[in-house]
Structure 1
Amino acid sequence: MKKILVPIDGSERSMKSLEFIKGLFPKDTIELTIMHVQELVFMNGMMIINEFENSKQLGQRIVDVASERMKEYSPKTYLSFGYAGEEIIKKSRDDDTDIIVMTKSTKRGLTKMIGSVATFVVKHTKCIVMIIPE
């Protein structure tokens, strides 16, 4: 069974990765983890507790919506806080992920073509990264 990690940001664009998986992988052939990384803002080196709670609730809603879309795959969900690229790499290593599936950025330019987070992931991971066009 292949382990697939799908980082999402809650946008419809990022949710297209889920539809791609449905079209390519039968549900009994993969172990799916849906991940969301919430970045937090610090002021004077301190995080405001309300900001953390709000971020946690928003992140949980995002992974819950994605999980519902993929319920036939019985996905695991994972919510993390920090820089998205670093957190995705850490999770993929911890879980011994085979494939990371991400949706490309809407920005233009060589580095921006797939997005800064996707570029970071491609440069730093040891597994396959699939970038899905919009």
Structure 2
Amino acid sequence: MSRILVPFDDSERAREALEYAVNLFPDGEFVALTVVDTSSVPAIPNTASGDEDEVSETVERVFGDVEERLAVPERIAAERGVPIETQTRLGAPTQEIVEFAETEAVDHIVMGSHGRSGVKRFLLGSVAEVVVRHSPVPVTVVR
């Protein structure tokens, strides 16, 4: 049985990639990986300052979103009757996706692409492009 990694950011493209992966690998085992991009996480206040409520609120906001985000692939997998595991990592999305593929038993990556082109792609980079270049396993990009 193939183990398929589907990076999941709760975008329409990520949902389409998961649906595509299930169709492409009907007997597969799936892993939905969400990466909390640490460059977009607000600074967590210092607990030494004594404001534990502020720390709790910030952590809850960041990780509460993750739980909601991962409920979507769990629902899609349940509807399709396929097994799915959900994982969360903190860091740069491209680095975490490639590292997950390198360190976990993953046979293939199926991921969505936002389809940016031109200057936007140059300035923002393309997660899918970097993953394709550095992945140790085959990658299918769904546009």
| TM-score, normalised relative to structure 2 | 0.79
Structure 2 counterparts to residues 1-134 of structure 1, below 5 A: 1-26=1-26, 29-40=27-38, 41=40, 46-48=43-45, 49=55, 50-71=57-78, 72-109=81-118, 112=121, 116-133=126-143
Assess if the C-alpha contact under 8 Å between 2:18 and 2:111 holds in 1: no
C-alpha root-mean-square deviation of aligned residues, in Å?
A: 2.2
Assess if the C-alpha contact under 8 Å between 2:5 and 2:110 holds in 1: yes
- Structure with bigger strand share is 1
Which is higher, the Rg of structure 1 or of structure 2?
A: 2
Displacement of 1:14:
1.4
The higher relative CO (CA closer than 8 Å, separation ≥ 6) is in 2
Tell me the secondary structure at the aligned position of residue 77 of structure 1: strand
Displacement of 1:5:
0.2
Gaps of 5+ in 2: 46-54
Gaps of 5+ in 1: none
Count of aligned positions: 128
Displacement of 1:110:
9.1
CA distance in 2, matches of 1:85, 1:31: 22
Displacement of 1:118:
1.0
Percent same amino acid among aligned pairs?
27
- Structure with bigger helix share is 2
Displacement of 1:47:
2.6
Displacement of 1:52:
2.8
